[in-house]
Amino acid sequence: MSPQPTPPRAEGDPAIRPRHPSDPPQTPPEKAGEPLLRIRGLGVQFGGFHALTDVDFDAREGEVHFLIGPNGAGKTTLVDIITGLTKPTTGSVSFDGQQLVGHKEHRIVHFGVGRTFQAATVFEALTVGENLDLAASYRLGLRRLLRQPRGHADAVVEALEVTGLADEVDKSAGALAHGQKQWLEIGMLLAQGPRLLLLDEPVAGMSPDERTRTGELIRYLARGRTVLVVEHDMDFMRRFADRVTVLHEGRILRADATVAEVQADPTVQEVYIGRARDDRNSAGRSGAAAAGAPAASDDEEAA
Amino acid sequence: MSALLATVRRRVVGPREELPARIAFAIVAFLLIVVAPSMLSDFRLGLLAKYLVFAIVAVGIALAWGRGGMLVLGQGLFFGLGGYAMAMHLQLAEAPDGQPPAFMTLTGAEHVPGIWGPFESTAFTLAMVVLLPMLAATLLGLLVFRSRVRGPYFAILTQALAAAFVIFLVGQQQFSGGTNGLTVMTFFGLDLADPDDKRTLYLIVVAVLALVFLIGRQLVRSRYGRLLVAVRDAEDRVRFLGYDPTLVKVVAFAASAGMAGLAGALFVPVVGIISPASLGIVPSIEMVIWVAVGGRLSLAGAIAGAVLVNYAKTELSEQLPSAWLYGQGLLFVVVVAFAPRGIAGIGEWLRENRGRLRRGRDATPAAATTVEEGA
Amino acid sequence: MEQLFSQIFVGLSIGSILLLVALGLTFTFGQMGVINMAHGEFIMAGAYTTYVVQQALGDGATSTAFLLSLPAALVVAGLLGLALEALLIRRLYGRPLDTLLVTWGVALILQQLARDLFGAQNVEVKSPGWLNGGTEVLGVGVAYNRIFIMVLALAATAGAWFVVSRMKQGRRMRAVMQNRQLAAASGIGTAAVDRRTFFLGSGLAGVAGVAITQLGSVGPTLGQNYIVDAFLVVVAGGLGKLRGAVIAALVLGLCNSLIEYWTEASLAKVIVFVLIVAFLQLRPQGIVAQETRGLA
């Protein structure tokens, strides 16, 4: 029915091959340096409900940092605050020394922060190439926007190649397969040249094959940038994460750990295994509620 | 030599894929500039001039509504601002030096009122005809789009604005001529009763329409045009690409207002009068019908829609007034509900289906169906 | 002082008319999100129903005819609404701007229909004896017909409130409004709820039409005079909020009459509009806002 997605072109590149569980744990390159993203004492309330409480969080350049936790843990809320969609009640978010709280969404993008959404949102009436071109042109003034574009910028060409969408460049984005839309959205981020990328459940609804390719894409993105990934998929995290932070009920359960540390952590296991057991007993949503996460604050609703 | 020819051909004819569009443009221009003036009676040519004035408004609406998803139900306001600015200037030009215009002297006024004063200047008037509507639209747009008022709310606000403007004009009779409006006899030295001068006026209208069409086309084809479509379909996503949707929308809204103002200014000499009756809620929403019928996504379609609907109105409302009013209502219902791409959609539909026949079954289904605006 | 009281009374009177014409919209627009531009024509239908009932019962029964036309108008306008919902609006779900334009087309057709049925000339509806004349309150002369409209607005609002918050139908209506999919999954027939909501909202327009016959003659374009104001009331009040609509209608009515007192009618209208735009800057959600999380 839908055409088989072509794999990202960067497959052969050894630097971006998927991490194997037996690989030695990667130490982030600049562990000692000032973190690119620094969050302190962050808290937010929605009409009395504490979605996040006293969150401290750091992410350094060049790392793929996974943000995990059960439904309602506040992962998407955290991303929303960093990108200016939600205003925090307390706390600060500094990015490369720049305070982000209080700036409008589109200003924050200009500081070098980009994000994707849980449900991939691309401009379906435009072609793939036009989508990427629009993303790459965000610094142009009105006068240059009013010109008719000719050819593709280097950033657009790179994004087309890395996402494997070069053959679809003139195809309407609405006609892409689900996985391809996700890649296009990531490609749009790439074309903007941000230093911090926030990916909200990038592999939701993808086949195992597509997951692997998305993971490779994420590793490629992380070169010289910081990638923050919100994910439910534990297996995906194990394969592609450098660092992991676990959120639970709006609090940090385990900050800035390695995959191995998180897997060995009994409290993390408690949260996840407890949740898994509940999931077996009662279905889906009520399971999350039983694990202590209010169903009403499901992450999906914030997207 | 051949290189020079190639350059000339590229400049004049453009890339190969634009050839049909350019030929169509040339044919329509030939029909309007050469054929129509020689074939039509003075009366018919005057009517055609009026339809083409309306077509200028339609281009603006297609831009704001079709591309930008902003349903503008108050274009009568901007049309009126341009029209009244022009009418004030023409009335002052017709009045003896330093004297107030004729309708004011009837009520005993001896001086030109303050707000009329600057319109004595031709340059000021010509600037205001476009700038006044654009300024009003920019101001309203900045306020309204920033507080994320959109979709139907925006439509209703613009409609209320047109209604308030008409009430204001009727109430300020001593300045505006009230329900009678303002009447003009001359247009920058053209005698509006003289057939030859009216022909010149007609050609001016054609030239302005061509200019407005080309500006609109440039806007649509530029990156900005894509950005506008992106804002229409997913405003919040655009925000996270680093653009301010408010500014994107304000530009299109102001451009459409400027076009409406320009049209209003030409309407005054073409029809000879501007009054609140041509600006209120009903005329404003009629302007939207023209675009709906012609095709909201196509500027050329919008022009065709304005001309055809107004032609039908002239023909039918004389012979069968009741039937026309039913027809107008039905046109609205049928076109918007069942053929949202209008006349322009017929051509596109044929082209797509021909493509589908050739390609077989794996056609691209989503390419054509994104007509609806993000609400 | 008396002048001020008089203006306040006029303002409350305008406000109660606004409330009556906007009440139906809080259902169709507020609850269902449907912009029905033919709402004004349902008011017109209500007004003509009053005329027809009066003609049918003859001169001797003006009073009976008037009271009878209240339920009659509710049914006539409600049925018109039902037909509109079933034939057109249901097909345009998720296309709010197109719905607006289509219903405008329907409004044009209904206007012409009224013209063909009753003539282009306005018709007069006789007032029952007990609505003629007036009394004096706090030194201000108040007409009985104005008081009647206020009472009717109050009664209609109370009725609407009762339906929404006390009856099963109202609970279902709110459920569908808040989450259509969830409501459908919980076994609520959303199509049936939509039909009833539309009947009720349109019917209330008919009732407003009956009241409006007491303010002047009845013509085919009667509804057009009220439609924009009615939508502004609902937008300013907050979507689907009865309380918001009541406050907005009264505040707009008072503003109109007080500003008119200081300036004049045409300026007052413009100033009130500017105030609404300014107010929406401060509170885009209207007076009574729904608390939500995420992108509104």
Q: Which residue has the higher pLDDT, B76 or C62?
A: B76
Q: In total, how many domains does chain B have? A: 1
Residue B9 pLDDT greater than 80, yes or no: no
Instruction: Write out chain B residues lying below 8 Å of A135, CB-based.
Output: 241
Model pLDDT, residue B11:
63
Chains that touch B (3 or more CB pairs under 8 A): A, C
Tokens of C279: 């107010």
Longest dimension (CA), chain B: 77
Within a domain: B1: no
Within a domain: B238: yes
For C105, the closest of B152, B164, B330 (CB atoms) is B330
Residue B193 pLDDT greater than 70, yes or no: yes
Inform me whether the C-beta atom of residue B233 falls under 8 Å from chain C C-beta atoms: no
pLDDT band at C34 (very low <50, low <70, confident <90, very high): confident
Cβ–Cβ of A301/C291 closer than 8 Å? Answer: no
Model pLDDT, residue A275:
56
Model pLDDT, residue C296:
31
Taking only the tens place, the pLDDT of each residue in C148-184 is: 888 888 898 888 888 877 777 777 777 777 777 777 7
Within a domain: A284: yes
Within a domain: B186: yes
Min mean pLDDT across A90-104, B53-67, C37-51, C268-282 is at C268-282
Dihedral, A132, A138, A143, A147 alpha carbons, nearest 10 = 0
pLDDT band at C106 (very low <50, low <70, confident <90, very high): very high
pLDDT band at A257 (very low <50, low <70, confident <90, very high): confident
Residue A289 pLDDT greater than 70, yes or no: no
Query: Please, are residues B69 and C96 in contact by the beta-carbon 8 Å criterion?
Result: no
Inform me whether the C-beta atom of residue B370 falls under 8 Å from chain C C-beta atoms: no
Alpha-carbon Rg for chain A in angstroms = 19
The partner residues of A196 in beta bridges, in order of sequence, read A113, A226
Within a domain: A131: no
Instruction: Write out chain B residues lying below 8 Å of A130, CB-based.
Output: 226
Q: Give me the residues of B, 258-287, that contact C with CB < 8 A.
A: 281-282, 285
Residue A256 pLDDT greater than 80, yes or no: yes
The domain of A114 spans 38-120+192-298
What is the arithmetic mean of pLDDT over B85-106? 81
How far, in Å, are B170, B203, B253 from residue B264 at the CA level? 18, 16, 16
Shortest Cα–Cα distance, C160 to chain B (Å): 24
Residue A134 pLDDT greater than 60, yes or no: yes
What is the arithmetic mean of pLDDT over C11-38? 84
Taking only the tens place, the pLDDT of each residue in B221-280 is: 999 999 999 999 888 889 999 999 999 999 999 999 999 999 999 999 999 999 999 998
Residue C48 pLDDT greater than 90, yes or no: yes
Name which of C112, C276, C295 to mutate to probe chain B: the one with the most chain B Cβ atoms within 10 A of its Cβ: C112
Cβ–Cβ of C281/B143 closer than 8 Å? Answer: yes
ipTM for this model: 0.81
Q: Percentage of chain A surpassing pLDDT 90? A: 7
Within a domain: A14: no
Residue A281 pLDDT greater than 50, yes or no: no
Distance in angstroms (rounded) separating the CA atoms of residues A255 and A56: 8
Q: Percentage of chain C surpassing pLDDT 90? A: 13
Query: Please, are residues A117 and A200 in contact by the beta-carbon 8 Å criterion?
Result: yes
Shortest Cα–Cα distance, A52 to chain B (Å): 22
Min mean pLDDT across B104-108, B115-119, B168-172, B336-340 is at B104-108
pLDDT band at B15 (very low <50, low <70, confident <90, very high): low
Q: Cα angle vertex C263, ends C258, C268, to 5°? A: 65
For chain C, what are the domain ranges? 2-282
Taking only the tens place, the pLDDT of each residue in C186-221 is: 777 778 888 888 898 899 999 999 888 888 888 888
CATH of the domain at A48: 3.40.50.300
Q: Which residue has the higher pLDDT, B170 or B208?
A: B208
Residue A31 pLDDT greater than 50, yes or no: no
Within a domain: A287: yes
Model pLDDT, residue B5:
67
Within a domain: A183: no
Dihedral, B300, B306, B307, B308 alpha carbons, nearest 10 = 100
Residue B141 pLDDT greater than 50, yes or no: yes
Inform me whether the C-beta atom of residue A121 falls under 8 Å from chain B C-beta atoms: yes
CATH fold of C2-282, please? ABC transporter involved in vitamin B12 uptake, BtuC (1.10.3470)
Instruction: Write out chain A residues lying below 8 Å of C293, CB-based.
Output: 46, 297, 301-302
Inform me whether the C-beta atom of residue A301 falls under 8 Å from chain C C-beta atoms: yes
Min mean pLDDT across A68-77, C34-43, C54-63 is at C54-63
pLDDT band at A264 (very low <50, low <70, confident <90, very high): confident
The domain of B297 spans 18-368
Of the candidates C283, B116, A226, the one whose C-alpha atom is nearest the C-alpha of residue A218 is: A226
Cβ–Cβ of A46/C295 closer than 8 Å? Answer: no
The partner residues of A113 in beta bridges, in order of sequence, read A196
Q: How high does pLDDT run on average in chain C?
A: 82
Q: Which residue has the higher pLDDT, B352 or A96?
A: A96
Shortest Cα–Cα distance, B363 to chain C (Å): 25
Residue C268 pLDDT greater than 70, yes or no: yes
Cβ–Cβ of C295/A301 closer than 8 Å? Answer: no
Within a domain: A11: no
Instruction: Write out chain C residues lying below 8 Å of A302, CB-based.
Output: 293-294
Tokens of C133: 């004349």
Model pLDDT, residue B58:
96
Q: Percentage of chain B surpassing pLDDT 70? A: 89
Within a domain: B9: no
Residue B73 pLDDT greater than 50, yes or no: yes
Name which of B217, B224, B235, B236 to mutate to probe chain A: the one with the most chain A Cβ atoms within 10 A of its Cβ: B224
Instruction: Write out chain A residues lying below 8 Å of B230, CB-based.
Output: 123, 126, 134
What is the arithmetic mean of pLDDT over B32-40? 83
Model pLDDT, residue B295:
86
Residue C29 pLDDT greater than 70, yes or no: yes
Chains that touch C (3 or more CB pairs under 8 A): A, B
Residue A298 pLDDT greater than 70, yes or no: no
Tokens of C116: 């063909």
Within a domain: B259: yes
Searching chain C, which residue's CA lies closest to the CA of residue B322?
Answer: C112
What is the arithmetic mean of pLDDT over B178-198? 84
